[in-house]
Amino acid sequence: MFLARMNMAGLRPDHDVLDIGCGVGRVARYLCAYLYPSVRYEGFDVMDAAIAWCQENITPAHPNFGFTATPVLNTAYRTDPSLPDAATFRFPYDDASFDFVCAQSVFTHLLPESAENYVREMARVLRPGGISCTTWLWFNDSGYSHPFTEPMERHDTYAVLNPEIPEAAIAYQEDAMRKMFGTGGLVIDGEYPGYERIQDLCVAHKP
């Protein structure tokens, strides 16, 4: 389903792709069959074991698929407080390296300053005209809220499911997300509400 959503966003098989918070390769395993072997796919994640699994099970058969462990603090996924902060983390890739950047169910685990930084970093690593395809949980003042947000504790521009582990699940006011993209240097092309287990989707591009 996410591959279909990425296609709708403009993904082509000749795109160099960055997969933020790639986990155990749930997206990568489909992109293996979709992307041309000549293009570059990179995934990174804070969980070492997930990255090791991808390196051992995906890269040998698809050498153009690279995976990098990026130990960064996350109160749900990587809890060592001595780790660097996601709010200042620089993605380990050069400027303008990718045509397409995706993050499935990752901004739903980032607090506002980290989410702002990740949008800025997406803009930095995308080539001009490059596309970002990211999932979120939204609520807005016009009456829409993703069903997952209903039990959440509302703060100003965001809401959390568990205040003790805020990054376990985070929703954003839709306007706050739009502001992040505007200040981060990406232009939103489409917002597609989800339902039940399907998260809300934001498609944007770098001018």
Ligand X SMILES: C[S@@+](CC[C@H](N)C(=O)[O-])C[C@H]1O[C@@H](n2cnc3c(N)ncnc32)[C@H](O)[C@@H]1O
Contacts with ligand X by CB under 6 A lie at 20-23, 26-27, 45-47, 50, 72, 74, 77, 86, 104-106, 109
For the bound state, the minimum distance from the C-beta of residue 165 to ligand X, rounded and expressed in Å, comes to 12
Three-class secondary structure of residue 88 per DSSP: coil
| Alpha carbons 131 and 133: distance in angstroms, whole number | 7
Question: What are the structure tokens assigned to 63, written together?
Answer: 């050498």
Closest distance of CB 207 from ligand X, Å: 25
CB of 56 or CB of 175, closer to ligand X: 56
Closest distance of CB 204 from ligand X, Å: 18
| Minimum gap (Å) between residue 77 Cβ and ligand X | 4
For residue 39, give every residue at least 6 positions away whose Cβ sits within 8 Å of its Cβ, in sequence order, or none: 13, 14, 15, 16, 17, 64
25/130 with CB nearer ligand X: 25
Q: Which C-beta is closer to ligand X: that of 47 or that of 125?
A: 47
Q: Which residue has the tokens 């809890």?
A: 79
